[in-house]
């Protein structure tokens, strides 16, 4: 599905990280690989450090901390916000929704729109789409919250998933403002949904004693049905085929070249996958940041804005930048956005004791 939006702009981005750091070198004893194999994996995938939240921390904790920080520093005020959109795979509860918790705890009025969307890797793009559509009908700003605490659902003995996972959140402020046209494309193939799945925990398979039993798979990973499970080979092939084709087709249809973009801010699965994608599409590495996993881990739907802030904060504040955003993963889903991001009012990453 292709959509186009006009006069919509990002004006503020705040990234939030937990303080706790965990290093791959300290974790290799958890895995079935030899130390030599683990070090080779570290170099290829870009593993190093990832941020992990406390077991008691929820997405609403991150959001409330960040919004109160924005209030305290006069980044926003309550009366100018018309909607709160939360995109996450990690609800505090089945009911109530995270956005309702935020509305109450941060003191927003009762006339605000609150929406929660369940989406993973493509969460930032889906959040942008929903925010853009809301801005067609309201004259206030939209507060977009992307956040996950996926580490709570990953086995520490799973060398496929645990080294790359990181917890984080990002709060983005969007508003109606004169801007260049925005190209938006989103695709989904549910037939391949099992390539990235947490089998137990929903109504289809509630968590119980049996689902919590840890077993070793054919590759030497230890996990239970309560944990996230990724078919790395299938996801890699999907990115190299479907995602690369989408990008090339979008460039052609919109008469864009690689040189037309200042930055390519993509979802951050691991450095190896991103390098191969960049090479296949022809994107130069200096325009294509791919260092989030080695510094913070992959924070799911918050990965695109976190990558942008971490690598281009000054440029995002001081000038306008033509950006290509792309995300791909759970669903399976994949999408691309062409939009300008820049001259932001505020742009920062902060840490919290969460």
Instruction: For residues 262 and 282, state if they share a domain.
Output: yes
Residues 6+ apart with CB under 8 A from 206: 200
Residue 273 lies in a domain: yes
Q: Quote the CA–CA distance of 335 and 306 in Å, as a whole number.
A: 18
| H or E element at residue 82 | strand 81-87
Residue 129 CB partners (closer than 8 Å, separation 6+): 3, 184, 186
Phi, psi of 256 (to 5 degrees): -110, 150
Residue 71 placed within a domain: yes
DSSP symbols for 80-130: GEEEEEEE-S--S-SSS-HHHHHHHHTT--TTSEEEEE--STTHHHHHHHH
Instruction: Count up the domains in the chain and report the number.
Output: 2
Q: Is residue 134 part of a domain?
A: yes
Q: Which helix (H) or strand (E) holds 295?
A: helix 292-295
Instruction: Answer with the one of 141, 176, 211 that is the final residue of a domain.
Output: 176
Which of 338, 298, 240, 307 lies closest to 120, judged by CA?
298
* Helices and strands counted in the chain (H then E): 10, 17
Say if residue 131 is in the same domain as residue 21. Answer: yes
Regarding whether 83 and 229 lie in a shared domain, the answer is no
Whether residue 192 sits in one domain with residue 136: no
Beta bridge partners of 320: 342
What pLDDT is recorded for position 37? 84
217 found inside a domain: no
Residue 145 lies in a domain: yes
- What is the pTM (predicted TM-score) of this model? 0.95
Q: Is 288 in the same domain as 152? A: no
Q: What is the pLDDT of residue 18?
A: 97
* CA 187 – CA 53 distance, rounded (Å): 31
Q: Specify if 349 maps to a domain.
A: no
Do the beta carbons of residue 174 and residue 124 sit within 8 Å? no
How would you classify the pairing of strands 182-188 and 333-342? antiparallel
Same domain, 72 and 169: yes
Domain membership of residue 327 (yes or no) is yes
Do 250 and 164 share a domain, yes or no?
no
The answer to the question of residue 158 being in a domain is yes
State the pLDDT at residue 218.
84
Report d(CA 283, CA 261) in Å as an integer.
10
Where residue 253 sits, what CATH number does that domain have? 3.40.47.10
CA atoms within 13 A on the CB side of 86: 28
pLDDT for res 313: 96
Asked if 190 and 270 sit in the same domain, the reply is yes
Whether 186 and 146 map to the same domain: the answer is no
- Report the SS3 class of residue 320: strand
Nearest CA-CA partner of 293 in 14, 13, 35, 45: 45
pLDDT averaged per 10 residues, the chain (length 354): 95 97 90 83 89 97 98 96 98 97 97 97 98 96 97 92 94 94 96 95 95 90 93 92 97 96 96 95 96 96 98 96 97 97 97 94
One domain for residues 11 and 160: yes
CA distance 350 to 354: 12
> How far is Cα 333 from Cα 349, in angstroms, rounded to an integer?
27
Same domain for 263 and 121: no
Instruction: Provide the domain limits for residue 322.
Output: 182-197+224-344
Whether residue 247 is found in the same domain as residue 120: no
CA distance to 39, 214, 277, per residue, from 51 (Å)? 20, 24, 25
β-strand partners of 337: 184, 325
Q: What confidence score (pLDDT) does residue 34 get? A: 81
């Amino acid at each position: 599905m292709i959509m186009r939006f006009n006069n919509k702009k990002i004006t503020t981005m705040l990234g939030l990280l937990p303080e706790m750091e965990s290093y791959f070198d300290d974790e290799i004893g958890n895995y079935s690989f030899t130390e030599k194999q683990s070090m080779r994996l570290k170099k290829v995938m870009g593993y190093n450090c990832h941020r992990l939240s406390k077991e008691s921390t929820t997405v609403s904790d991150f959001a409330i901390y960040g919004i109160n920080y924005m209030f305290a520093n006069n980044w926003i005020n309550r009366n100018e916000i018309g909607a709160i959109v939360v995109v996450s795979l990690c609800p505090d509860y089945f009911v109530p929704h995270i956005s309702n918790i935020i509305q109450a705890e941060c003191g927003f009025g009762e006339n605000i729109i609150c929406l929660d969307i369940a989406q993973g890797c493509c969460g930032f793009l889906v959040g942008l789409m929903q925010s853009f559509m809301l801005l067609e009908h309201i004259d206030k700003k939209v507060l977009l919250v992307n956040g996950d605490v996926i580490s709570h659902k990953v086995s520490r003995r799973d060398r496929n998933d645990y080294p790359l996972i990181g917890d984080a959140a990002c709060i983005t402020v969007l508003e109606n403002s004169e801007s260049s046209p925005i190209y938006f494309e989103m695709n989904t193939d549910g037939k391949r949904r099992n390539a990235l799945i947490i089998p137990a925990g929903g109504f289809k398979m509630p968590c119980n004693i049996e689902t919590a039993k840890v077993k070793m798979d054919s590759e030497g990973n230890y996990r239970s049905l309560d944990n996230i499970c990724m078919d790395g080979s299938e996801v890699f092939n999907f990115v190299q085929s479907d995602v690369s084709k989408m990008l090339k087709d979008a460039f052609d249809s919109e008469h864009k070249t690689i040189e037309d973009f200042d930055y390519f801010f993509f979802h951050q699965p691991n450095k190896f996958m991103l390098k191969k994608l960049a090479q296949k599409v022809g994107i130069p590495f200096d325009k294509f940041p791919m260092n989030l996993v080695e510094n913070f881990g992959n924070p799911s739907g918050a990965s695109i804005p976190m990558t942008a802030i971490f690598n281009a904060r000054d440029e995002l504040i001081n000038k306008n930048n033509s950006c290509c955003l792309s995300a791909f993963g759970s669903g399976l889903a994949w999408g691309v956005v062409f939009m300008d991001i820049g001259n932001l009012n505020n742009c920062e990453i902060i840490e919290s004791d969460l």
